[in-house]
Amino acid sequence: MNLDKLQKQDYQTGQVLLIDKPLGWTSFQVVNKVRWLIRQEFDIKKIKVGHAGTLDPLASGLLILCTGKFTKQIQSYQAQHKEYTGTITLGGTTPSYDLETDIDQKFATTGITKEAINKAREQFVGDIMQQPPIFSALKKEGKRLYEYARAGETVEIPKRPVHISAFEITRVDLPDVHFRVACSKGTYIRSLAHDFGKALNNGGHLSALRRTKIGEFDVKNAQTLEAVIAHFKGAKGS
């Protein structure tokens, strides 16, 4: 992705931009920022920019942005398998299954062995049924699940099939378990962390997450958002 060679008509015809999303940014904020930068640089009143798969603010990594007519391809990118690296912290659960909310239950981790961790891991490889977290943007009866959660309402969330082609434990440093996961569209890594803790008769939540791949696209080939912003500011000043 060489931004220096792209012109106004390139963005309008369509481009795939690989962004390494930083922590703290929503995917929507990244889209808005890049759209604004393109409009400012080329004096365009309107241009389509969309992303192919949400990353939570507490996650970093690969975010595919499509511009112009390429926004019609977004669904095809969303359907591709994805890979992540991250950390599951045992010994505590949170309502959101990650660090968005505070720990609500605590557990001792002293009896957990590497053998038990690897045995638990095996349960989550292949086709599995997974319950999405209530702190998610999925809709039920026209309302986002996180709206029910923030209102303190209980709602039944049906499990759904997902496929995990790889679940590798890369390092164990209790209470932290570091991992790599390759999975299908619709897989919630937060739910995986929560269910992994339950499989150990313990509690677990996602404490770090980074998306490294979407299909054949790799975060190694992505631009940092900081670099993209610097590029457009530099181009505007030249």
Angle formed by the axes of helices 225-237 and 27-42, nearest 10°: 10
CATH 1.10.3720.10 fits 82-214, yes or no: no
Report yes or no: 184 and 128 within 8 Å, Cβ to Cβ. Answer: no
Domain ranges of the chain: 3-78+217-237, 82-214
Q: What type of residue is 161?
A: P
Mean pLDDT calculated for residue range 15-41? 95
**1 against 187, higher pLDDT:** 187
Q: Which CATH superfamily is domain 3-78+217-237 in?
A: Pseudouridine synthase (3.30.2350.10)
Mean pLDDT calculated for residue range 38-49? 93
Mean pLDDT calculated for residue range 47-64? 94
pLDDT digits (tens, 9 = 90+) for 119-136: 999 999 999 999 888 777
pLDDT value of residue 155: 75
pLDDT digits (tens, 9 = 90+) for 214-226: 999 999 999 999 9
Strand partners, 210: 60, 85
* Backbone torsions φ then ψ of 214, nearest 5 degrees: -135, 110
Catalytic, out of 4, 20, 43, 56: 56
Residue with tokens 């999303």: 21
Q: In whole angstroms, what is the distance from residue 154 CA to residue 89 CA?
A: 25
Kindly provide the b/e burial profile for residues 90-115, where b requires at least 16 CB atoms within 10 angstroms of the residue's own CB.
bbbbbbbbbbbeeeeeebebeebeee
* Backbone torsions φ then ψ of 227, nearest 5 degrees: -70, -40
Annotated catalytic residue 10:
no
Q: In whole angstroms, what is the distance from residue 37 CA to residue 19 CA?
A: 14
pLDDT digits (tens, 9 = 90+) for 83-103: 999 999 999 999 999 999 999
